[in-house]
Structure 1
Amino acid sequence: MPRRNQPRKPVRRSDDGGTGGLFGNALAREEAGPAGYDDERYLVRRIPGARATKTYRCPGCDQEVRPGVAHVVAWPVDAGGADDRRHWHTGCWAGRRTRGLTRRWS
């Protein structure tokens, strides 16, 4: 199959009514924050397992997000720096509204 010479255009999808936005070349969308941070908006990007190459600590369960595991990266809309991004297990991010953070955001 021939290779595409032009980049694909991102498809904006939102499961929960959030608005889409771009962070670099990757698709990110805006969503409500975890419990206790409900009034804040976060940009969220899904990371497929094939692109997950490092180990991170999930703030939702305080367990490791291992390399090769698909997960979610979330950061506050107003901050948006690399130091503010947090890597969550997909299930932990999905249940963020029913439980608080186990790991303090610094």
Structure 2
Amino acid sequence: MPTGRKGRRQQPRQDWTPLNMERLASLPRTIERRGVNYQVAHLSGSTKSYTCPGCHHEIAPGTPHIVAWPSDDGFAPFGLETGPAERRHWHTRCWD
């Protein structure tokens, strides 16, 4: 009688989680607007409120919105050197 592992069903791994596409959408990407390159990330929400520079109205906590900052044209990845100081939170409609 064979005693090999062939034919045995393998139990699914308990530590596996499906890929969250929403997290991939939040990765910054470079977009050019009015001759300036910006790093832009889509956020599904935040824990605090921000003022949109486009309409000067509040972006309420938990509201999906866009964060954008000028990039250094490849000098620093993701605009890390200017990002924290120049980062702005926009309503999606105001950014578009």
Q: What TM-score results when the alignment is normalised by the length of structure 2? A: 0.64
Match among 58, 68, 77 for residue 74 of structure 1: 68
Cα separation, partners in 2 of 1:3 and 1:88, compared to 1, 3 Å: farther
Count the aligned residue pairs: 74
The equivalent residue for 1:86 is 88
Q: Which has the larger radius of gyration?
A: 2
Paired letter, 2:43: I
Paired letter, 1:41: N
The equivalent residue for 1:29 is 29
Q: List alignment gaps of at least 5 residues for structure 2.
A: 1-11, 73-78
CA offsets 1:56-104 (integer angstroms, 9 cap, x no match): 110111111110100000000025330110000011111xxxxxxxxxx
Task: Point out 4+ residue stretches in structure 1 off by more than 2 angstroms.
Answer: 1-5, 7-11
CA offsets 1:37-56 (integer angstroms, 9 cap, x no match): x011100000003xx11111
Cα separation, partners in 2 of 1:31 and 1:3, compared to 1, 3 Å: same
Cα separation, partners in 2 of 1:3 and 1:65, compared to 1, 3 Å: farther
Distance 1:8 1:55 in 2: 25
Matching of residue 53 in structure 1 with residue 47 in structure 2: yes
Distance 1:83 1:47 in 2: 18
% identity of equivalent residues: 41
The structure where helix makes up a greater share of residues is: 2
Match among 16, 19, 28 for residue 4 of structure 1: 16
Distance 1:61 1:27 in 2: 25
Q: What CA RMSD, in Å, does the superposition of the two structures yield over aligned residues?
A: 2.8
Distance 2:65 2:83 in 1: 19
